[in-house]
Amino acid sequence: MEKNKLIRVEDLSKEYKMGEVTVNALKKVSFDINEGEFVVIVGPSGSGKSTLLNIIGGMDTPTEGKVFIGDEDITKYNDKSLTSYRRDKVGFVFQFYNLMANLTAEENVELATEICKDPLKIAEVLESVNLSDRKGHFPSQMSGGEQQRVAIARAVAKNPLILLCDEPTGALDYKTGKSILSLLNKINKDYKKTVVIITHNSPISKMGDRVIKMRSGKIVDNKVNENPISPERIEW
Amino acid sequence: MKKLDLRLLRLIKNSKGQFIAITVLIIIGLIIYTGLSMAAINLEESIDTYFNRMNFSDLFIEAVELSDGDIEKIQQITDVSKVEGRIVVDVPFKDEDQDAKVRLISQGKDKEINKLYTVKGDKNIEKKEVLMLKQFAEARSLDVGNDITLEIGGKDIIFTIKGIVSSPEYIYLMEDEQSLLPTPKKFGVVYMDEKYLEEILGYSGVYTEALVTSKNTENLEVLKEEIEDQMKGSKIRRIYPREDQLSNRMVHEEIKGLKQVSSTIPLLFLGVAGIIIAALISRMIRNDRMSIGVMKSLGYNNRKILAHYTKLSLSLGLIGSVIGILLGSLLANQMAKMYLNFFNIPFLEGRFYPEFTLYGIILSVMFCVLAGLWGARKVLKIDPAESMRPDPPKKGGRVFVDRIGFLWRRLNFSEKMVFRNIFRNKKRFIFLSLGIAITFSIVIMPFAMLDAMNTMFDKHYTDFQLMEYNINFNRPMTGDVIEDIKEELQIGKIENKIEYPFEIINEEKEKVVTIIGLEENTEFYDFTSVKGDDIELPKKGILLSEGLAKVLDLEEGDNIEIKTFNNDENIKVEVKGIIRQSLGSNGYMNISQMREEFIGSNITTGVYINSDEDVKNRLDDLEYVSFIQSTKDMINIYMEFTDLIILSLGIMLLAGGILGFVIIYNSTIMNIAERRLEFSSLRVLGLSKKEIFKIVTKENAIMTITGILLGIPLGLYMIKYLESMYSTDIYTLRVDISLLSYLGSILATVIFVIIAQLATYRKIKNLDFIEALKNRIT
C-alpha cells in the first residue's frame, strides 16, 4: 500500500547569529515523513535536530527551503497562520514537560483543548495515559514521569496531525523513560498519529518506523526500519 | 471558567500580599478622588441652591452714609434689578464672662435680598427683639427666648432673641480679612428691626450699606463701574461683587482646594500603583517565559496572552475602584457632616453623584490596563522556540566600584556582592530608590505644613505684629482720645492708627484692601523685606504685603493709585517696599501722609497698646471703643485650630506611609522572587539565612540612603507646589523646614523600609533552596 506523504521538507536551511558568529544550524536538509509513521530523529547535541523540529512545528522559521504539511507550505505562513497551524495541527511534548504550575493535570490538558477545533475527550485521553486518578493533582505533586504523561495527554488531546517530541525522555530515569516511549508508541498505534521524536539517545531509534540521523546540520542517514522493536526491549 | 483565567486567579492567590497592597493604593486614590470630588460638588451645589433661595446679593456697597435718594439713584441704573439699603454697625455684646463684638444688621419684612433662613423661632421681630446668627448662638449657648445685652450708642439695651437664623452672607463667620479664622464666640451677627435701629442710632433715611442684585450677573464689574460713575461724590467707601464677599470667598477657596487635591493626589496614587503593576507584570512575564512559550506552542496568539496578563491589572483596577468608590462616597457623606461644623449652609447634604463612580472606574481602569499592557509588552517578543531553552546567564563584568582598586580591596565578599548587585541591576536600584524618594517626599509634606502653619502664626503674632492689644473705635475719632486712654492706663506704650479699606489700583488690576496708617518709627510692627532685610516705615509712600504685591503685579518703585471715594481724584503713591506678611494682605503708610492726603487731619480709627494692665476691663467703658483684640487670644484660637490641622496632617502622613510601604514591600518581594536562584546558590555554598538577609539589608540601606537624598529635593519641589497652591491673597505660606521635620521624615521613611524588610525576612526564611534550584517550572 502506497503511504500518503504528510510532511515534505525541501532544502531547509537555518542560520542564526550568536553575537558576531553565524551558526548554520541546518544545511539544505530534505526528507519526507509519511502519515502514521513513528519517526526518530537522532543526533548529538548541536546537530540541528531541535531547530528542525521547531520549524516543522511552526515555532521557528527557516532561512531557506520549504516545509509542506500535506499540500501547504508552512514556510509561507505569516505569524497568524502559524499560530492557527500550531493550534490545530501540532502537538508538542518537551523535555522539561513545561506544565503550568498552578493548573491541575486535567486543567493543563483543558488549557490546550479550549482553543482547538476538534479536541478529543479529555477523560479518555487521561485514561489512555493512565492518569485518571491523578487528574486533580498539581504538577508539583507529581513525579517527572507523571508530568510527562500529562504533557503527552495535553499534546494528544488537541487531536493534532503530528505529535512532535523534543527529547521526551531526556529528564527521566531509565524505567520511566521507557514507559513514556511505550505510551508514545501506543498513541501512534491507537490514535494513528504521526509521531516525531528527537533524541540524542541512539538506542531509541530502534523503535522508529523511520530513523533519521543528523550531524552538524545535515542528514547523514535516512532509512525505513522494517522491523521496529517495542520500547520494552530497548536497552541503553 | 477558562483555564487561563483560573491560572490568573491562582496566581493572584499565591501573591495576595502584593495584590492587596496595590489594590489598597488604588482604593486610597479613588477614595480621595470620589470623596473630595463629591464633597466639592456637594458644597458648590448646596451653596448655589442656598444663594438662589435666599436671593444672595450680586454687589455689596459699603458707605459712610447712603440716603434714600442715593438708593433711588442706584435703582434707576438699567442693569440693577433691585437695591436695598441697610444699616450695619458693630457694637459690643455685653456678657458677664466674656464680651464679644456683634455686627448689627437692620432687618425688615420688606427685605428681599440676602434673606434669612429661620433655623428656629420666628422671623418677625419688633422693637426689642432680635434674630441671632446660628454660629454665634451655638458658640454662646443662646437660644430663642434668651435675653442679651448690647451696647448701642453708649447705652446698654436688653433684647430678646426671637429666632435663630442662617444667612447666605455668613456661611463662614469671619469678622474681616484680618481674622483668618472664625471665632464664633467672639464675633457674631444680630438682626434688628430697621425702624427701631434707626431710632436708637438717630439715623433716619440713612444707610451704611446697600445690597444690589443685577439683571446681568455675567458682568458685575461693568455694573460696579457704572454705580461708581453715577455715585461720584457720594460717601461710598467700597463696592465689591459677590465673588469678593468674605464668607463666599472662603467657601470657594475651600472648594478650590478640594478640587485641586482631588485632581492631583489620586493621580499620584494611581500612578504609583500603575508603575508597580507594570513592574510586577513584567517580572511575571520574565518568570513565565517558558509558560508563554508553551501557550504559544499550543496555538495561543499574542492577543490572547496579552489579554491574560492585562486581565490581572484590569481586575485590580476594577476591585480597587469599586471599593474605593464605595468608601469614597461614605467619605463624601462624612465630609458633608464635617463641613456643617465649619460652614453654615442649611441645605448642605451629602448627595451621591453617580457620574463620579463612572469617572473613577474609567480613571483607575485606564491606569491599570495601560500599566498592564506596558508591563506585558515583552510577551510579543518572546519566541516560542527560544523560550524553551533556559535563560542565558546574566552578563557579568566589573562594576564601577570595582575599578576603584583601593576601595574594592577593602570590601569583603558579601560587601562586594552588595555593590555588584546594585550596579548590575540599575533598573531595580533606580526603581526602589525612587520609591523611597517618593515616600520621603510625601512624608515630609505634613511635617513641612505643620512647620509652615507654626511659622505663619508665630511670625505674624510675635515677629511681625508686636502689639498686645489692637483696639478699634466705633467711629473715626480725633487724636485727642489717646490722652483719654492714657488716663485710664498709667503704664504702657500706645500709638494711634488708621485702618480703612481702600481700593488700590495698578493699571488694569485693582483690589480692595485695608490700608493701615502707623506712626513714624512705630514700635508695633517689625517690617522685613521679602529678602529678609529690615525695612522702616517710609515718610511718604506705601509698603505692600507680599501676597498683595503679587495679586496686583507690583514691584518696589512702582506707582499705585488709591481710590478714596470721597475724593474725585485718585491719590498716587509710590511703593516703597514689599514686605513679608503671612496672614492677611495690607498696605502700610505713614499716618501723617494718610491724614494729610486723604483722611483728614488728626483722625484716628483706633490704637495699639502694650501694657501689663487689664486693658480690657479698663477700656471697656469708653463709649467709642468698639472692639479690643488681644494677641494672646488670637494665639489661643490658633492653638485650637492647630489640633484640627494635626488631624488632617496625620491622615496625610498615613497616606504617605501606606504609599511608601506598598512601594518598598512590592519591590523587595519582587526582588526576592527574582533572586530565588541566586539566594539558593548562596545557601548551597553555605551562607546562613542571616548572612543572606544581611546582604539584602545592606543593599536596601544603600538604596534607602540614595532614596532619601533624592527625596529631599523632590520633597522641596512638592512643598514649593503646595506653597503656591495654598497661598492666597489672604495668607502667604512660606515653608522653612525645621531640622526636626527632616529628622522626623527620615525616621518615618526608615520605619516604613524596616516594616517592608521584615516581610522580606520571612520570605528568605521560608526559602526552600533545594526546591528552587531543582525546579525550573514557574
Average pLDDT on B203-219 reads 86
B233, with CB counted inside 10 A (0-12, 13-18, 19+), is exposed
Q: Residues of CATH 2.40.40 domain(s) within chain B? A: 88-202
Q: Quick one: which H or E segment has residue A6?
A: strand A5-18
More confident residue, B423 or A133: A133
pLDDT at residue A49 greater than cutoff 80: yes
Give the model confidence (pLDDT) of B627-639 as tens digits.
777 888 777 777 7
* Confidence class for position B183, pLDDT limits 50, 70, 90: confident
Give the separation between CA B65 and CA B87, rounded to whole angstroms: 9
Which of B2, B302, B778 is opposite residue A114, by nearest beta carbon?
A: B2
How high is the pLDDT of residue B322? 93
Provide the total of helices (H) and of strands (E) in chain A, helices listed first.
6, 10
The verdict on A98 touching B (C-beta cutoff 8 Å) is yes
Q: Do B296 and A116 touch (CB under 8 A)?
A: no
Alpha helices (H) in B172-219, listed in sequence order: 194-201
Nearest-CA residue of chain A relative to B298?
A87
Give the separation between CA A67 and CA A58, rounded to whole angstroms: 10
Q: Quick one: which H or E segment has residue B626?
A: strand B625-630
Q: List chain A residues with CB under 8 Å of B298.
A: 86-87, 92, 111-112, 115, 154, 158
Which of A79, A98, A115 is opposite residue B294, by nearest beta carbon?
A: A98
* Per-residue exposure over B241-255, b if at least 16 CB sit within 10 Å of its own CB, e if not: bbeebbbbbbbeebb
The verdict on A229 touching B (C-beta cutoff 8 Å) is no
The verdict on B299 touching A (C-beta cutoff 8 Å) is yes
Query: What's the distance, Cα to Cα, between the start and end of chain B in Å?
Result: 22
Nearest to B666 by CA among B164, B16, B111: B16
CA distances from B207 to B239, B378, B623, B625 (A): 15, 77, 22, 22
Q: Residues of CATH 3.30.70 domain(s) within chain B? A: 59-86+206-244
Which of A54, A86, A166 is opposite residue B298, by nearest beta carbon?
A: A86
Q: Do A158 and B298 touch (CB under 8 A)?
A: yes
B698, with CB counted inside 10 A (0-12, 13-18, 19+), is middle
Q: What does pLDDT average to over chain B?
A: 83
Nearest to B536 by CA among B518, B560, B554, B549: B518
Kindly indicate whether the domain formed by A36-61+79-233 is annotated with CATH number 3.40.50.300: yes
Adjacent-strand bridge partners of B118? B165
Q: Do B10 and A103 touch (CB under 8 A)?
A: yes
Q: Do A87 and B298 touch (CB under 8 A)?
A: yes
Average pLDDT on B304-326 reads 92
Q: List chain A residues with CB under 8 Å of B379.
A: none
Q: Do B299 and A99 touch (CB under 8 A)?
A: no
* Per-residue exposure over B116-149, b if at least 16 CB sit within 10 Å of its own CB, e if not: bbbbebeeebeeebbbbbbbbbbbbebebeeebe
Average pLDDT on B50-76 reads 88
How high is the pLDDT of residue A105? 92
- Quick check: B658 and B666 in contact, CB under 8 A? no
How high is the pLDDT of residue B291? 87
The verdict on B394 touching A (C-beta cutoff 8 Å) is no
**Cell triple for residue B647?**
488631624
- The CA distance from B1 to the nearest CA of chain A, in Å, is 10
The verdict on B304 touching A (C-beta cutoff 8 Å) is yes
Q: Do B388 and A101 touch (CB under 8 A)?
A: no
Task: For the domain covering B88-202, report its CATH number.
Answer: 2.40.40
How high is the pLDDT of residue B471? 84
The DSSP secondary-structure symbol of B460 reads I
Which of A80, A87, A102 is opposite residue B10, by nearest beta carbon?
A: A102
Average pLDDT on B256-277 reads 87
Give the separation between CA A191 and CA B661, rounded to whole angstroms: 57
Task: For the domain covering B59-86+206-244, report its CATH number.
Answer: 3.30.70
Nearest to B469 by CA among B412, B416, B524, B432: B524
The DSSP secondary-structure symbol of A4 reads P
Q: Give the highest mean pLDDT range of B140-154, B413-427, B620-634, B653-667.
A: B140-154
How high is the pLDDT of residue B305? 92
The verdict on A197 touching B (C-beta cutoff 8 Å) is no
The DSSP secondary-structure symbol of B353 reads -
How high is the pLDDT of residue B775? 53
How high is the pLDDT of residue B395? 61
Give the separation between CA B271 and CA B286, rounded to whole angstroms: 22
- The CA distance from B10 to the nearest CA of chain A, in Å, is 6
Other Cβ atoms closer than 10 A to B309: 25
- The CA distance from B6 to the nearest CA of chain A, in Å, is 8
Give the separation between CA B642 and CA B156, rounded to whole angstroms: 36
Q: Is B654 helix (H, G, I), strand (E, B) or coil?
A: helix
How high is the pLDDT of residue B380? 87
Give the model confidence (pLDDT) of A183-209 as tens digits.
889 889 988 889 999 999 888 999 999
Q: List chain A residues with CB under 8 Å of B385.
A: 50-51, 54, 59-60
Q: Is the dihedral of CA B465, B470, B476, B477 positive or negative?
A: negative
Nearest-CA residue of chain B relative to A86?
B299
Which of B2, B4, B776 is opposite residue A96, by nearest beta carbon?
A: B776
Orientation angle between helical segments A174-190 and A144-157, nearest 10 degrees: 20
Nearest-CA residue of chain A relative to B13?
A102
Pairing mode, strands B88-94 and B117-121: unpaired
**Which of A59, A97, A110, A135 is most worth mutating to test chain B (most B CB atoms within 10 A of its CB)?**
A59
Category of B427 on φ-ψ map: left (φ > 0), alpha (ψ -120 to 50) or beta: alpha
Q: Do A100 and B291 touch (CB under 8 A)?
A: yes
**Cell triple for residue B259?**
478640587
Nearest to B362 by CA among B322, B332, B311: B322
Q: Do A102 and B2 touch (CB under 8 A)?
A: no
Which of B299, B385, B778 is opposite residue A60, by nearest beta carbon?
A: B385
Q: What does pLDDT average to over chain A?
A: 89
Q: Do A114 and B3 touch (CB under 8 A)?
A: yes
How high is the pLDDT of residue B500? 82
pLDDT at residue B401 greater than cutoff 70: no
Average pLDDT on B593-601 reads 80
Query: Quick one: CA torsion of A17, A22, A28, A29, rounded to 10 degrees?
Result: -60
CA B514 to chain CA mean position, Å: 24
For B194-280, where are the E strands, in sequence order?
206-214, 235-241
Q: Do A103 and B777 touch (CB under 8 A)?
A: no
Nearest to B629 by CA among B185, B96, B100, B90: B100
Written as one letter, the residue type at B432 is: L
pTM for the model stands at 0.77
Q: List chain A residues with CB under 8 Å of B300.
A: 83, 87, 115
Q: Is B349 helix (H, G, I), strand (E, B) or coil?
A: coil
Q: Quick one: which H or E segment has residue B628?
A: strand B625-630
- Quick check: B615 and B469 in contact, CB under 8 A? yes
Q: Is B214 helix (H, G, I), strand (E, B) or coil?
A: strand
Nearest to B90 by CA among B189, B205, B194: B189
Average pLDDT on A73-89 reads 91
The full set of domain ranges for chain A reads 36-61+79-233
Which of A97, A103, A115 is opposite residue B7, by nearest beta carbon?
A: A103
Category of B514 on φ-ψ map: left (φ > 0), alpha (ψ -120 to 50) or beta: beta
Nearest to A53 by CA among B385, B389, B298, B290: B385
B325, with CB counted inside 10 A (0-12, 13-18, 19+), is buried
Written as one letter, the residue type at A17 is: K
Give the separation between CA B306 and CA B588, rounded to whole angstroms: 67
The verdict on B287 touching A (C-beta cutoff 8 Å) is no
ipTM of the complex: 0.86
**Which of B294, B379, B383, B774 is most worth mutating to test chain A (most A CB atoms within 10 A of its CB)?**
B294
Which of B301, B385, B778 is opposite residue A101, by nearest beta carbon?
A: B778
pLDDT at residue A14 greater than cutoff 60: yes
Give the separation between CA A55 and CA A69, rounded to whole angstroms: 12
* Per-residue exposure over B707-734, b if at least 16 CB sit within 10 Å of its own CB, e if not: bbebbbebbeebbeebbeebbbbbbbbb
Residue B32 main-chain phi, psi, to 5 deg: -65, -45
Give me the total of CB pairs closer than 8 Å, taking one residue from chain A and one from chain B.
Answer: 87
Residue B133 main-chain phi, psi, to 5 deg: -65, 135
Nearest to B501 by CA among B209, B81, B110: B209
The verdict on B778 touching A (C-beta cutoff 8 Å) is yes
Adjacent-strand bridge partners of B120? B164
Q: Do A80 and B301 touch (CB under 8 A)?
A: yes
Q: List chain B residues with CB under 8 Å of A84.
A: 299
With cell 508538542, the residue in question is A92
Q: List chain B residues with CB under 8 Å of A136.
A: none
Nearest-CA residue of chain A relative to B290?
A98
Q: List chain A residues with CB under 8 Å of B297.
A: 57, 59, 86, 90, 92
* Confidence class for position B776, pLDDT limits 50, 70, 90: very low
Nearest-CA residue of chain B relative to A113?
B298
- The CA distance from A59 to the nearest CA of chain B, in Å, is 5
Q: List chain B residues with CB under 8 Å of A142.
A: none
The verdict on B1 touching A (C-beta cutoff 8 Å) is no
Give the separation between CA A67 and CA A74, rounded to whole angstroms: 6
Say how many CA atoms lie within 13 Å of B33 toward its Cβ.
Answer: 30
